[in-house]
Chains A and B, each alone.
Chain A
Amino acid sequence: MKGYLGEFEELVLLTIANLSDQAYGVAILEDIQHRANRKLSIGALHSTLTRLDEKGYITSYLGDPTNERGGRRKRFFQLTSQAITGLNEMKALRDQLWANSKVNLSLK
């Protein structure tokens, strides 16, 4: 489908993969902030999630009502097989480029 996968989109997809069945909005946001040290608004994150959904990389389902959110349900995200293929292609491309690099890329 829409083959192009942006850097931030890739980051979000991998985070969802890391969080597995706990991948909902706040968790993804905090994980990215923690790991990548990026300031990120909830609007920006959800926009990206919406785009990924449109491109068919993720699906979502609503969880059970939770007490701490005033009874509101969480929306959990899951990778589709298309996302896994996409991530793999991305990784393969990167590995290939790393391997082929004429410049020494290792940090000492």
Chain B
Amino acid sequence: MKDSNNQPPKAASKLLAWFAGSADLEDIQGDIDEMYIHKQKSKGRLVAKIFYWRHIISLLFSYALLKRKRQQALPDYYAMNNLSMIKNYVKVSLRNMRKQRMFTAINIFGLAMGMSVSLLILSVIIQSLRFDDFQENKLRMARVITTVENEDGINRFATTTPALYNELSQSVTGIEAVVRLKYSLNHTLFHDDNEIEISGVYTDSAYFQLFSFDLKYGSKATALDEPNSIILSPKLAKKLFDDRNPVGETLTTVDKQSLLITGVLMEHPRQTHLNFEAIGSYSTIENSGSYKGTIVDQWNDYYYSYIYLLMEERKTVADFTEVISAFNVKASQIFDNKKITFGLQEFDQISPGKNLNRDNTPFDWTTSIAFFFMGFLILVPAVFNYTNLMIARSLKRAKEIGIRKVVGSSRTQIGAQFIVEAILLSLLALIGTVIIFTIIRAEFINMIAGGESLDLSLNLRLILAAILFGLFVGIFAGIFPALYFSKLTPLKSLGNAISASGSISFTRKSLIVVQFSISLVFLIGIAVITRQHLEILNYDIGFNKENILVVPLKNVDHELLKQEFVQIAGIEGITMASIMPGVEAGIGSTYLRSLSNFEDSINTKEIYVDESFVPLLGFNVLWGDNLGDSRSTDLEKVLVNRELMRQNRIVNPTADSTFHFLNGTQKVQIVGVVEDFNFMQLNMGMSPLVIRSINDNARFMLLKTNRNADLLAQLEQLEQGWSNVEQEASFDSYFLDHRIEESYTSTQGILKIFGFLGILSICISCIGLLGMVVYFTENRVKEVAIRKIMGASLFNLYQILGGSFLKLLLIAVCISTPLAYFFYEMLFVHMINKFSTGVGFIEIILSIVFMLTLGLLPVLWIVAKVARLNPANNLRTE
């Protein structure tokens, strides 16, 4: 029997033991061993071994083993007392919170702030994922998208050329319906003596076949058949007609166009990328008789039209690859200087989308991820606070843990205690979170693009999401303390081996450093964006924008108006223009080509102004003279900007090379060149510009006012003058520089978001630091007392107690300054301002000073409190 060969196979019994874990198998193992010995005696070793293996394997899958394992995993007393254990965890947690009110308050406050922003961002992301979920045909719809390759690089557009509409609707099988969408419906109406701007989309009757919008009044089938018919959104209908049925009534726009109301939409979920206030019939624009252009022009116009199609049942986007490639071939025949390819985008891929140019969905993946990241950056410091403070309290908790372990707690139970504590705290913080959430919600919606299509009211779904989120944050925050405390050995923790006075551990130090680094990155961001914003506003845009009053003409006879205004004192000059310079609005595109060379043409913008425009706004004329009055002649005289000359490569402006064709047929002569000026927003860059003489397309009157004139009196006079000419439309005016400032709202939005997040992040970090300092100094009260008795000065104490924190803050500065610098310099600044001079030193220095001041305030406050204590009081006990 002693011979090891007589033993049953070890591997098998080991496998069984491993599989059984801690389950008790003594009797079963004994049974098999006994049978092995019998077998070995009667049948020999090999048979016995095979026999043994077979039985072990049968045991592995047997109910007997399963049952024993289960019993082991849940000992009876534990299974029965599960609930009471949790009750116990909660009780201990609540006691601890009550005992440490200050820490509890700091943690709840910090977590609430961090969680509110994260919750907000989370709900925005959730909503953006559910965009257009209510569309019944969402799986059968697709959108035609366009990729354009030319010398500027590759651009992908969500729009496409309207020429495809006919092709798709006539000659392609497998498509149930096609619609064109053109978001160019813009009207100004009068209502109750107010001007109302409405914007919307022109589309075909099939619109309702594709999209799940219902009509409250009117008929879906016929509403969009006739030109000049319009369907109103419920909001607009309510504004204009209250709850009346307006179908059949006529709206008259300011420019005397009449629109027949043929329907009112039902309320629909706001989460759609198909945003509009009104729907007009597509035949309206087709009938307007505007110049349709050549085939090339039609195919070239891929900026404004969206085409959606409804595929037949069981067809997918892949079924149309051939059709699309046929279009690509056609496009390649038409264009030789660029390559245009089309593609189909599935409807449910539109939002959140892939960052296409001219996409009409407010959410793309990049923004969503950026948002998510920002939320995370705010949440992390708050969670670190908890972790940090919890571990800082280890001295006080260590005894409790030691005793629990001695009494028989397992590591899991200790861990569970800390997880439960963290969850409880984060659920308490959730109350604060919801309060902050409701306060900042409205402001936040205003700040982000596409906010108006979000619905962030507190509903059941959001509340559930919030609770889940709270649980997640609790576990996230509790996991580190749980691991830390469950590792403590009873001997150490009871024997006071955990040093009390010792410095803060490396982990905790690095947590503080990370918190402040994040805050500093945000703060530098605020400074950088503020600077860019100011830079944009003070950028020399090439003309005089001060003291220029803009009056929208609203189809008033501008000659009459001019005569009225000229008489007013303090008006130094009047000019008419088709645009508001410096603000992107109504700038038309055309192309210019020289008489001799028909191959090369230059894409250029065109604006219409009258002859006093150039002197009034102080443009720098480089060559030639001003616009003449050339409306009557065949040969139009135009001005161009320097950029156009540069692209046109006219080196020597001889008389011959100044003649050109504009827009194909209009013969023009360049009579002057003006210095480049930013007629569009800065970020649009500089493009070639042709300045033409105004005819009857003036939209704005620009008045140069005297700096010293009485503005109010002037405005009154202007309004008087206006009403002499026009009785219906009301007088409007604004200063050009204000308008330019307002047009940079996107940077303002970013500034607001950054400002808000930065303040939040620094607040959270400071609160955490405060907690740490309080704890740290509390443990050193005696030390301070002794030092004082030994003759330490107040300065020495500040140095000793505050020095280590200052060091941490300085490390944070060292880490995040280069990071922030590179991030903003490389990525950010040039995104919001193409002409930026980059990140300057001043804003970095200012942010660092700001952060250090804020960070040291809690340190100084607490240290001052401790240092001023009477040492006798602190040494008396014991």
Contacts and interface: CB of A to CB of B under 8 A. Distances in A.
Interface of A: 24-26, 29, 41-44, 46-47, 49-51, 54, 62, 66, 68-70, 72-75
A17 to B, nearest CB: 20
A69 B64 contact: no
B62 A74 contact: no
A24 B29 CA distance: 12
Interface in B56-104: 57-65, 67-68
A91 B55 CA distance: 33
B571 interface: no
B456 interface: no
B62 A44 contact: yes
A44 B32 CA distance: 13
Contacts of B30: 25, 66, 69-70, 72-74
16 contacts: A24-B27, A25-B28, A26-B35, A29-B31, A41-B58, A42-B35, A42-B58, A42-B59, A43-B61, A44-B62, A49-B64, A62-B26, A68-B37, A69-B34, A73-B27, A73-B30
- B: interface residue count bin: 20 to 34
A24 B32 CA distance: 12
A44 B58 contact: yes
B33 interface: yes
Given A42-B58, A44-B58, A51-B63, 14 more contacts: A24-B31, A25-B31, A26-B38, A41-B58, A42-B28, A43-B61, A43-B65, A62-B27, A68-B34, A72-B27, A72-B30, A73-B27, A74-B27, A74-B30
B37 A41 contact: no
A101 B599 CA distance: 111
A27 to B, nearest CB: 9
Contacts of A54: 67
Contact of B62 (A24, A46, A72): A46
Contacts of B33: 69-70, 72
A49 B29 CA distance: 15
Nearest to A49: B64
Interface of B: 26-35, 37-38, 54-55, 57-65, 67-68
B27 A43 contact: no
Q: Which 5 A-B pairs have the closest CB atoms?
A: A72-B30, A43-B58, A43-B62, A75-B27, A46-B64
A50 B26 CA distance: 15
Contacts of B61: 43
B27 A47 contact: no
Contacts of A66: 30
A42 B27 contact: no
A42 B65 contact: no
Nearest to B1: A68
A6 to B, nearest CB: 13
Nearest to A28: B31
Contacts of B31: 24-26, 29, 42, 46, 74
A24 to B, nearest CB: 7
Contacts of A50: 63-64, 67-68
Contacts of A49: 64
Nearest to B35: A26
A42 B31 CA distance: 8
Contacts of A62: 26-27
B32 A42 contact: yes
A43 B31 CA distance: 11
B67 A42 contact: no
Nearest to B28: A46
A43 B55 CA distance: 7
- Of B28, B38, B60, B65, most buried by chain A (CB within 10 Å of CB) is B28
Given A42-B58, A43-B58, A29 B63 contact: no
A22 B60 CA distance: 26
Contacts of A44: 58, 62
B64 A43 contact: yes
Contacts of A69: 30, 33-34
Contacts of B65: 43, 46
Contacts of B26: 62, 72-73
Contacts of A75: 27
Contact of B55 (A24, A42, A73): A42
Nearest to B26: A72
A75 to B, nearest CB: 4
B30 to A, nearest CB: 3
A51 B26 CA distance: 19
- Of B26, B30, B63, most buried by chain A (CB within 10 Å of CB) is B30
Nearest to A46: B64
Given A24-B27, A46-B64, A74-B30, A29 B35 contact: yes
Nearest to B27: A75
A66 B34 CA distance: 10
B550 to A, nearest CB: 89
Nearest to B52: A42
A9 B57 CA distance: 22
Contacts of B62: 43-44, 46-47
Contacts of B38: 26
A75 B68 CA distance: 14
A40 to B, nearest CB: 10
Nearest to B7: A70
Contact of B54 (A29, A41, A68, A72): A41
B34 A47 contact: no
B536 to A, nearest CB: 79
Contacts of B34: 26, 68-69
A2 to B, nearest CB: 15
A29 B35 CA distance: 10
Nearest to A47: B63
A43 B29 CA distance: 11
Contacts of A25: 27-28, 30-31
Contacts of A68: 34, 37
A69 B29 CA distance: 9
A101 B642 CA distance: 117
Contacts of B55: 41-43
A29 to B, nearest CB: 7
A8 to B, nearest CB: 13
A51 B60 CA distance: 16
A42 B33 CA distance: 11
A70 B64 CA distance: 22
B38 to A, nearest CB: 8
Nearest to B30: A72
A41 B58 CA distance: 7
A11 B752 CA distance: 82
Contacts of B68: 50
A73 B62 CA distance: 21
A46 B61 CA distance: 11
Nearest to B62: A43
A61 B63 CA distance: 20
A63 B55 CA distance: 23
A47 B55 CA distance: 13
B453 to A, nearest CB: 60
A43 to B, nearest CB: 3
B6 to A, nearest CB: 11
Nearest to B60: A43
A42 B30 CA distance: 11
Contacts of B35: 26, 29, 42
B586 to A, nearest CB: 85
A32 B65 CA distance: 21
Nearest to B59: A43
A51 B68 CA distance: 12
A47 B61 CA distance: 10
A66 B59 CA distance: 22
A70 B67 CA distance: 25
Nearest to A72: B30
Nearest to A66: B30
A62 B32 CA distance: 16
A6 B80 CA distance: 31
A43 B35 CA distance: 13
